[in-house]
Structure 1
């Protein structure tokens, strides 16, 4: 038992160090601008009452997924937002350099300087707590590099937006900036024994390469010092709550990290448990992650892959994002064409784009966002207005269940 206890404390210590130390080893490849350019952009980005919010995206992937990452980045791109991309230790240094070069080569990314690529990769195993450590570190870096954003959004290479950024910005424009969109429940069911009473060790916390987690033979009691909540790992979290868990002036986030270091799929429970046990945040919780999934019956560990047969239901769901997709599936082309108005190499269209479709034949480019105007102007589609109505409805009920 002494050896197990030591390994548990070691894993927790590494998890905390990953979460709270903001590394300087990330590539600023996409923002090689002069000081005057940055000042101009900062002046253009208004942050006052009535202006759209700013989203900070944490986009994660692994080796062999550069094209999917770039496609997703372009699909969710807007000059107002911040983007931080991480390829885990399943990728090579060459792949990470290639990704940074791809970001740097895009004129719009370079001009607005709002896309960063993590230069250092982290080993992760989705079964263990290393994914949580990487996510918290990504949030810490975003806090460090930008003071402007309002919500932290997690995406993976298997995700894709099913609304435009103008739609999403419009939907959140009147939402109180302290609200958190977190799918959650306190009904643990089978998970109580399989995840919270079993002890898992995640070697990816202390190894350079992705490593498979393993379970210890010992078990432990369900905690009674706090109430456990679980749900979807895909979240939209307020800046104030991210500061709460990263800076952890209160001791609860640190205690939870110590516990969740040895919990299977901890990224599906840490944020839920932290927010629902924090008096100052419990009433900022909205029980919805604005994601569209299709599950098998009975459900497996992951949702089913989406294709064209899911298109109508997916769009009618009024969700903001959907998963999982196979890279290059035809349904993504349909989303690009019918929703995002995105060319094969361009970014998602928004009011800030000044290109006109009638100019395509003259310029030879299908990208409508090669020239731009006021980045604070947005123009939602009718679907964006419906999303705003949905968000206004779901935020009426807050708290943890």
Structure 2
């Protein structure tokens, strides 16, 4: 996310956002010596996805009716715009590693809303006891128990940051969330070092005015130095087929870049539509499978796979916004994201981003975001329009209608950022070029 200027902000109405978005969106074969590596990796990914979609669903009791009222007598009415569209739902994957269970829970509390769906994941480096404790906390929380929208992956996936297994893991998690619910509209994958910069009421309110097929993905066809270091090298990622961690294998050969499609690169974070995730998972089109095979032995494939599939698909290449709504600062010397600190706070908030990364564990900035942005008390979920308790106590122990949103100033910052993306005259020129 680019740092904003210092000019006085100008607020836009949600109707202008709705008008802009509707107007804009209306209308090689591998070498034989590498073949074995490619086929093994591809079938490993497909096997994981098929197992996740074919496993029997667990039986659940129905969610609390006061969170999702079906009769007018249960509904609590606020003074809100009667013309506002119904709020959407977001499917969150929140993942971490050894020692991250506390950070995952904090991120869950900060980004929680009864309309959303959450899948929590601790990778195999974390002891199984941490996974069990995480599940116990979720099951014992009265809000999560009432809404029944938080789940913990009992059998974790390996995901090597420099390999291709993060693509497999992301598709696996999305397929589980698709099987768990048919009611979500966007997919967001958050790591334990991320944090929201707006409330869920703010985010859902703004997304309700946008077409549900929009995808927020940083992307560029300029490959540059990544050609030699990220695309031509050939790796074998053990996270795809081994049950324990081991060293990643680099082959001595280099691959040729494909000519049948254009490669795009971007960031590992994105906000993807449900339609697009189903397109990648179900594989009714050959494109996602072909690119899955190509990137299955490519370093850092997560930052390349989704932008490449989106921009080479006629069905989806007009749905891309070249901005992921994430505030992050890239450290070119370390070839990684720089940890955010207190000097970044003002720019971070003014940016209009929905999320930020990366934060150190228990960073004081997280407390500042809780106090000044989310109005969240330690150990509690961030309050929203569905919370009816008295201020000063655990306000969300008394529930209203989950579809009632009370957006605040965070929605104005986010709306301003999206309107500028759609109306600055460069939207189409930056789309899959």
Give TM-score scaled by structure 1 length.
0.91
| Closer, same or farther: CA 228–382 of 1 in aligned 2, 3 Å | same
1:229·1:273 contact (CA, 8 Å) conserved in 2? Answer: yes
| Closer, same or farther: CA 102–371 of 1 in aligned 2, 3 Å | same
| Aligned counterpart, 1:363 | none
1:314 and 2:341 matched: no
| Aligned counterpart, 2:37 | 7
| Aligned counterpart, 2:419 | 392
1:315-367 deviations in whole A, cap 9, x for unaligned?
1111000000011111101111111111111001111111222xx3xxxxx43
| Aligned counterpart, 2:367 | 333
Q: Which runs of 4+ in 1 moved over 6 A?
A: 24-28
**Superposition deviation, residue 36 in structure 1:** 7.1
1:305 and 2:315 matched: no
Aligned mate of 1:158, from 175, 193, 200: 193
Aligned mate of 2:329, from 267, 284, 294: 294
| Aligned counterpart, 1:264 | 299
1:343 and 2:415 matched: no
| Closer, same or farther: CA 375–70 of 1 in aligned 2, 3 Å | same
| Aligned counterpart, 1:276 | 311
Aligned mate of 2:52, from 16, 22, 35: 22
> Within 2, Cα distance between the matches of 1:9 and 1:291?
35
SS in 2 for 1:209: coil
> Within 1, Cα distance between the matches of 2:70 and 2:303?
38
**Superposition deviation, residue 198 in structure 1:** 1.0
Work out which structure has the larger RCO, using CA pairs closer than 8 Å and 6 or more positions apart in sequence: 2
1:190-231 deviations in whole A, cap 9, x for unaligned?
001111111111011111123332310000111111110010
Any stretches of 5+ residues in structure 2 without a counterpart? 1-30, 76-82
Aligned mate of 1:367, from 373, 379, 394: 394
Give TM-score scaled by structure 2 length.
0.85
| Aligned counterpart, 2:87 | 52
> Within 1, Cα distance between the matches of 2:119 and 2:62?
21
**Superposition deviation, residue 185 in structure 1:** 0.4
**Superposition deviation, residue 19 in structure 1:** 3.5
| Closer, same or farther: CA 49–150 of 1 in aligned 2, 3 Å | farther
> Within 2, Cα distance between the matches of 1:90 and 1:376?
38
1:137 and 2:167 matched: no
More displaced stretch, 155-164 vs 93-102: 93-102
Any stretches of 5+ residues in structure 1 without a counterpart? 361-365
More displaced stretch, 164-173 vs 378-387: 378-387
**Superposition deviation, residue 4 in structure 1:** 4.0
CA RMSD in angstroms, aligned pairs only: 2.3
| Aligned counterpart, 2:5 | none
1:191 and 2:226 matched: yes
1:19·1:137 contact (CA, 8 Å) conserved in 2? Answer: yes
2:186·2:274 contact (CA, 8 Å) conserved in 1? Answer: yes
